[in-house]
Amino acid sequence: MNIMQSFCLEGKVALVTGGAGMYGRQIALALAQAGAVTNMTSRDNGRLSEIEEGFAQDGAKVRAHCLDQERESSILELRDSILAEHGRIDILVNNAVARTMGTWDDPLETFERSMRINASGLFAITRAFGDIMAEQGSGSIINIGSIQGMVGADSSLYKGLGMRIPNPDYFFHKGGMLNFTRYAASYYGSRNVRCNCLSPGGLASHRTPERFIERYCERTLLGRMAGDRDLMGSVVFLASDASAYVTGANLPVDGGYTAK
Mean pLDDT score across all residues of the chain: 95
The pLDDT value recorded for residue 183 is 98
Partnered with residue 62 across adjacent β-strands are 38
Q: How confident is the model at residue 14 (pLDDT cuts 50, 70, 90)?
A: very high
Query: φ and ψ at 110, to 5 degrees?
Result: -70, -35
**Is residue 212 within 8 Å of residue 161, measured between CB atoms?**
yes
Q: Give the pTM.
A: 0.96
CA atoms of 30 and 192, how far apart (whole Å): 23
User: What's the pLDDT tens digit per position in 158-217?
Assistant: 989 888 888 899 999 999 999 999 999 999 999 999 999 999 999 988 888 999 999 999
Cβ density class 141-163: b for 16+ within 10 Å, e for less: bbbbbbbbbbbeeeeebbeeeee
User: What's the pLDDT tens digit per position in 88-145?
Assistant: 999 999 999 988 988 899 999 999 999 999 999 999 999 999 999 999 999 999 999 9
**Domains plus CATH for the chain?**
3-254 (3.40.50.720)
Q: What is the 3-state secondary structure (H, E, C) of 147-211?
A: HHHCCCCCHHHCCCCCCCCCCHHHHHHHHHHHHHHHHHHHHHHHHCEEEEEEEECCECCCCCCHH
CA atoms of 71 and 132, how far apart (whole Å): 19
SS3 category, 63: strand
